[in-house]
């Protein structure tokens, strides 16, 4: 009578042991894999100041110790010892992002991929990747588009080029800074699916084509910075979400009209559309947009009576309306506004 129960207990214990053991094996081999991937990348880089990555070493004096990259400079880990943050801004990295083995940062916690039970997605627990202000060149590896836990991605001020790979799987991303590179091609429309996006900075690149209509779906977007590109076409009317604080479209080739409800939520502080080919009148919603601090409309083909189009802006510190086809008088009230 007792033996089937005992058998069950024994099998259960064995089963649990099996899972605990495979978990432990998985954890240590993955942290080694992460360490190896980082070391391999280090080896591929020309680093201006070697001492900045001097902590990135494999301690070969003690074979029984696990290599943990968690204490290395610029690396942060979660409680399970997995790398969740790589922060190396301005370290003087010269090399390629392509040499970085993104596939070595696999899914956190229980990974049963080696057991053949599940096909576990790769690369998914890195939350923060900051490699801005270096001299990385080449393109963004497509694997970056699969780092589905990423919350912040800072690639700005490098020499990256080519087109931006599809990023539609980065559903948690909130800050995406890729300004000051040499990216070209269209802005990927799937960025418009990234509902958590709060700050999107693509400025100072060579993006061409229109702003994707899908950007109207970015309801949490506070800052949209597209200055100094080769963008053209019209502005999606839906680009008027109530939390929008900063819209920078200066120095592009936009034509057509300014979006009418741009200050719908009353949060807009920075509105820059200068040096384009915008036509038509100043958006109606700007008249009562008391939140405005800086406004640049200069260098367009805008028309209309500015005394009717503009209102009273208590916080305004700068406005430039020059080189348009306006008429009428300005009665701007605000700090030291100039026009």
Ligand X SMILES: *[C@@H]1O[C@H](CO)[C@@H](O)[C@H](O)[C@H]1NC(C)=O
Closer by beta carbon to ligand X, 120 or else 337: 120
Burial of 1 (0-12, 13-18, 19+ CB in 10 A): exposed
Q: Is 261 in the site for ligand X (CB under 6 A)?
A: no
Which DSSP state fits 272?
E
Q: Is 95 in the site for ligand X (CB under 6 A)?
A: no
Query: Binding mask 110-129 vs ligand X (x if CB under 6 A, - otherwise)?
Result: -----------x--------
- Any idea which residue has 């091609």 for tokens? 185
Q: Is 219 in the site for ligand X (CB under 6 A)?
A: no
Q: Cα 288 vs. chain centroid, distance in angstroms? A: 32
Closer by beta carbon to ligand X, 115 or else 230: 230
Which of 32, 184, 256, 279 touches ligand X (CB under 6 A)? 184
Minimum gap (Å) between residue 254 Cβ and ligand X: 11
Q: Is 64 in the site for ligand X (CB under 6 A)?
A: yes
Closer by beta carbon to ligand X, 163 or else 290: 163
Q: Is 146 in the site for ligand X (CB under 6 A)?
A: yes
**Distance (Å, whole) CA 325 – CA 327:** 7
Closer by beta carbon to ligand X, 52 or else 337: 52
Closer by beta carbon to ligand X, 52 or else 80: 52
Minimum gap (Å) between residue 183 Cβ and ligand X: 9
Strand-pairing partners, residue 254, are: 233
Residue 154 phi, psi dihedral angles, 5° rounding: -110, 105
**Distance (Å, whole) CA 183 – CA 159:** 9
**Distance (Å, whole) CA 305 – CA 66:** 72
Which of 23, 33, 52, 330 touches ligand X (CB under 6 A)? 52
Minimum gap (Å) between residue 122 Cβ and ligand X: 9
**Distance (Å, whole) CA 121 – CA 176:** 23
Q: Is 60 in the site for ligand X (CB under 6 A)?
A: no
Which of 1, 2, 4, 49 touches ligand X (CB under 6 A)? 49
Q: Is 214 in the site for ligand X (CB under 6 A)?
A: yes
Burial of 13 (0-12, 13-18, 19+ CB in 10 A): exposed
Long-range CB contact pairs, 75-78, < 8 A, 24+: 75/38, 76/128, 78/108, 78/125
Which of 3, 5, 60, 65 touches ligand X (CB under 6 A)? 65
- Any idea which residue has 């790769």 for tokens? 122
Interaction site with ligand X (CB under 6 A):
49, 51-52, 62, 64-65, 121, 137, 145-146, 161-162, 166, 168-169, 184, 192, 206, 208-209, 213-214, 217, 230, 232
């Amino acid at each position: 009578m007792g033996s089937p129960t005992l058998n069950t207990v024994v099998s259960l214990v064995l089963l649990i042991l099996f899972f605990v053991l495979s978990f432990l094996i998985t954890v240590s081999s993955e942290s080694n894999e992460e360490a190896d991937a980082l070391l391999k990348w280090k080896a591929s880089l020309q680093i201006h100041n070697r001492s900045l990555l001097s902590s990135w070493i494999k301690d070969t004096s003690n074979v029984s110790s696990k290599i943990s990259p968690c204490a290395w400079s610029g690396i942060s880990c979660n409680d399970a010892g997995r790398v969740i943050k790589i922060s190396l801004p301005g370290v003087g990295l010269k090399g390629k992002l392509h040499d970085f083995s993104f596939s070595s940062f696999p899914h956190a916690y229980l990974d049963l991929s080696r057991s053949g039970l599940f096909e576990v997605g790769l690369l998914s627990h890195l939350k923060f990747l900051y490699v801005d202000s270096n001299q990385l060149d080449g393109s963004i590896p497509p694997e970056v588009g699969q780092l589905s836990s990423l919350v912040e991605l800072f690639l700005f001020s490098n020499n990256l080029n080519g087109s931006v790979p599809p990023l539609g799987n980065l559903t948690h991303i909130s800050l995406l800074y890729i300004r000051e590179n040499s990216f070209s091609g269209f802005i990927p429309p799937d960025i418009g699916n990234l509902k958590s996006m709060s700050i999107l900075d693509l400025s100072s690149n060579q993006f061409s084509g229109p702003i994707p209509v899908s950007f109207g779906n970015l309801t949490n977007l506070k800052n949209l910075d597209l200055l100094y590109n080769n963008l053209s076409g019209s502005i999606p009317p839906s680009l008027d979400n109530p939390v929008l604080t900063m819209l920078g479209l200066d120095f592009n080739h936009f034509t057509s009209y300014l979006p009418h409800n741009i200050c719908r939520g009353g949060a807009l502080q920075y509105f820059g559309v200068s040096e384009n080919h915008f036509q038509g009148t100043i958006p109606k919603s700007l008249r009562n947009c008391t939140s405005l601090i800086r406004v640049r409309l200069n260098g367009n083909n805008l028309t209309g009576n500015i005394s009717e189009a503009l209102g009273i802006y208590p916080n305004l510190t700068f406005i430039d309306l020059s080189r348009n086809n306006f008429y009428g008088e300005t009665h701007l009230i605000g700090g030291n506004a100039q026009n």
